[in-house]
């Protein structure tokens, strides 16, 4: 039986290596297997909770689309589409919001974090909280359920959202009869959370990210600027450092073993950084070339997305008809 796989990326900033290892790479690997039908999309309406303006949203949406293509998405096998091209998702989101208990959403991490911050700052709990942020997990449930997706490859930070989608799926199926497929998050345990330059989770919102596709010289500067401890050349180096962690992501197992020895023997931080830059650049370069190609051939990207959106919408229409029948809107 063919299983459906879905994942989305918000166009809220330049895609970074956390997005790549946490979501994009596992999703691309799944798409290469013949028993999966894959739906990968640009979650542009989700990004309205944070993006600043029209131009930013348009530009970043292209960046996400070109990143998918550069990282190996094959449009003849995977539907690449834009959430905003599928109005049925928003219809479903409203329907689902009538089944989602407010208490469940009170516990969703992004909203909860905002409330906690407001309490620390001694301002009203709801300060700066809009309904888009509060209802974010319902829209995500609609994205997933409308495509009957079984698997959702995401980073660890999205696990809770997929669990909320599972709860909502259950509420609906119990009330109206079996309609939706139960989704499961697929989290790569080895890279469930890529840490950023400051040791916190790498995120566009923390300004601690290493962009996946920046100019080589910018990448090198970022690597050179990574903070290290004060151990001197010839002294053993800590393999828990950001530098070793990043190295493990990009290097082969054999390269990692060699590097581990060099760390024990006391490679200088400057040399460790050079080695890191070398493996990263070798890994990223072929993808960067493709990325730059697509960024300067946006008409090709548009036509891939419009084809993907058309096909994804056909499925969304079938699901929404089933849902309307189930709830009595005929
Ligand atoms: P960000 O936190 O930078 O805004 P997104 O929320 O757009 O990233 O995440 C897109 C995908 O990338 C999600 O599946 C998310 O779980 C994954 N992801 C984001 N940051 C990381 C990280 N630091 N490590 C692993 N996966 C991540
Ligand atoms: N919420 C996800 C994130 O912040 C993006 C997203 C939106 C998503 N809809 C989705 C991921 C559906 C997987 C499936 O990263």
| Residue 52: pLDDT over 80 | no
Q: Which residues have CB under 6 Å of ligand 2? A: 6-8, 10, 43, 46, 140, 143-144, 152, 154, 158, 161
Cα-trace Rg, the chain: 21
* Residue 3 in this model has a pLDDT that exceeds 80: yes
Q: Give the C-alpha separation, 320 to 100, whole Å.
A: 18
Label residue 251 by pLDDT band (50, 70, 90): very high
Mean per-residue pLDDT for 110-120? Answer: 95
pLDDT at 150 over 80: yes
Ligand 2 atom nearest the C-alpha of 10 is: 5
* pLDDT (tens digit per residue) in 162-214: 999 999 999 999 999 999 999 999 998 888 789 999 989 999 888 899 999 99
256-270 mean pLDDT: 96
Report how far residue 172's alpha carbon sits from residue 327's, in angstroms, rounded to the nearest whole number: 10
Q: Is the pLDDT of residue 307 over 90?
A: yes
Q: Is the CB of 157 under 6 A from ligand 1?
A: yes
Task: Check pLDDT > 80 for residue 51.
Answer: no
**DSSP letter assigned to residue 50:** T
Ligand 2 pocket mutation, candidates 7, 147, 193, criterion most atoms within 8 A of CB: 7
Separation CA 112–CA 262 (nearest Å): 44
- Ligand nearest to the backbone CA of 156: 1
Check residue 104 and give its pLDDT: 97
Q: 213-292: which CATH architecture?
A: Orthogonal Bundle (1.10)
Ligand 2 mean position, distance from CA 255 (Å): 33
pLDDT at site 285: 98
| Ligand 1 atom closest to 191 (CA) | 25
Distance 318 CA to ligand 1 centre (A): 30
Query: For ligand 1, is residue 148 a contact (CB within 6 Å)?
Result: no
Which DSSP state fits 96? H
Structure tokens at 240: 């828990």
d(CA 12, ligand 1 centre) in Å: 11
Residue 26 CA to its chain's centroid (Å): 11
Report yes or no: 82 and 309 within 8 Å, Cβ to Cβ. Answer: yes
DSSP annotation string for 185-254: EE--GGGSS-B-TTSSBP-TTTT---BSSS-HHHHHHHHHT----SPPTTS---TTSHHHHHHHHHS-HH
Centre of ligand 1 to C-alpha 105, Å, is 20
Edge-to-edge, what's the strand order for the sheet holding 36-42? 78-82, 36-42, 3-9, 151-153, 184-186
Q: Which two tokens stand for residue 98?
A: 């009538």
Structure-block tokens of residue 80: 């690449």
Regarding the beta carbon of 201 and ligand 1, being less than 6 Å apart is answered yes
- Is there a contact between 21 and 249 (Cβ–Cβ < 8 Å)? yes
Quick one: which atom of ligand 1 is closest to the CA of 154? Answer: 14
Kind of pairing between the strands at 36-42 and 3-9: parallel
What is the predicted pLDDT for the residue at 233?
A: 87
Judge: domain 3-193+298-327, CATH 3.40.50.620: yes
Quick one: which ligand is closest to 157's CA?
1
What are the sequence ranges of the domains in the chain? Answer: 3-193+298-327, 213-292
Find how far residue 182's CA is from the centre of its chain.
20
Distance 254 CA to ligand 2 centre (A): 34
Atom of ligand 2 nearest to the CA of 9: 5
Q: Is pLDDT at 254 greater than 90 in this prediction? A: yes
Residue-wise pLDDT tens digits, 122-137: 999 999 999 999 999 9
| Cβ proximity of 202 and 210 under 8 Å | yes
Note the pLDDT of residue 64.
98
**160 in contact with ligand 1, CB cutoff 6 A:** no
* pTM for this model (two decimals): 0.94
Distance CA 212, CA 280 (A): 10
Residue nearest ligand 1's atom 12 by CA: 19
Task: Report pLDDT digits (tens) over 309-319.
Answer: 999 999 999 99
Residue 108 CB neighbours (<10 A):
20
Looking at the CA of residue 155, tell me the nearest atom of ligand 2.
15
10 lines ligand 1 (CB under 6 A): yes
Phi, psi of 8 (to 5 degrees): -135, 150
- Residue 190 is predicted with a pLDDT of 80
Q: Mean pLDDT throughout 145-166?
A: 96
Write phi, then psi, for 252 (nearest 5 degrees): -75, 165
């Amino acid at each position: 039986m063919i299983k459906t796989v879905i994942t989305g990326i918000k166009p809220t900033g330049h895609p970074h290596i956390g997005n790549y290892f946490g979501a994009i790479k596992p999703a691309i690997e799944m798409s290469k297997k013949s028993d999966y039908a894959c739906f990968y999309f640009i979650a542009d309406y989700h990004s309205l909770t944070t993006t600043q303006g029209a131009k930013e949203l348009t530009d970043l949406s292209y960046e996400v689309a070109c990143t998918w293509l550069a990282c190996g998405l094959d449009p003849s096998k995977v539907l690449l589409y834009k959430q905003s091209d599928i109005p049925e998702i928003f219809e479903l989101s409203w329907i689902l919001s009538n089944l989602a208990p407010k208490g469940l959403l009170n516990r969703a991490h992004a909203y909860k974090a905002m409330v906690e911050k407001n309490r620390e700052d001694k301002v009203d709990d709801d300060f700066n909280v809009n309904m888009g942020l509060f209802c974010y997990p319902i829209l995500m449930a609609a994205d997933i359920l409308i495509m009957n997706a079984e698997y959702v490859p995401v980073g660890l930070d999205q696990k809770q959202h997929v669990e909320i989608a599972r709860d909502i799926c259950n509420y609906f199926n119990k009330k109206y009869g079996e309609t939706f497929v139960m989704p499961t998050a697929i989290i790569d345990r080895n890279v469930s959370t890529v840490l950023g330059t400051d040791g916190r989770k790498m995120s566009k919102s923390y300004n601690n990210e290493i962009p996946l596709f920046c100019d080589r010289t910018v990448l090198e500067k970022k690597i050179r600027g990574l903070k290290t401890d004060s151990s001197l050349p010839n002294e053993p180096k800590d393999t828990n450092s950001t530098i070793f962690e990043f190295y493990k992501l990009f290097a082969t197992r054999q390269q990692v073993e060699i590097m581990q020895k060099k760390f024990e023997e006391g490679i200088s931080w400057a040399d460790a950084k050079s080695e890191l830059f070398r493996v990263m650049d070798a890994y990223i370069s072929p993808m960067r070339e493709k990325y730059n190609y697509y960024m300067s051939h946006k008409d090709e990207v548009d036509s891939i997305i419009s084809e993907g959106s058309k096909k994804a919408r056909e499925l969304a229409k079938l699901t929404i008809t089933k849902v309307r029948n189930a709830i009595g809107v005929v």
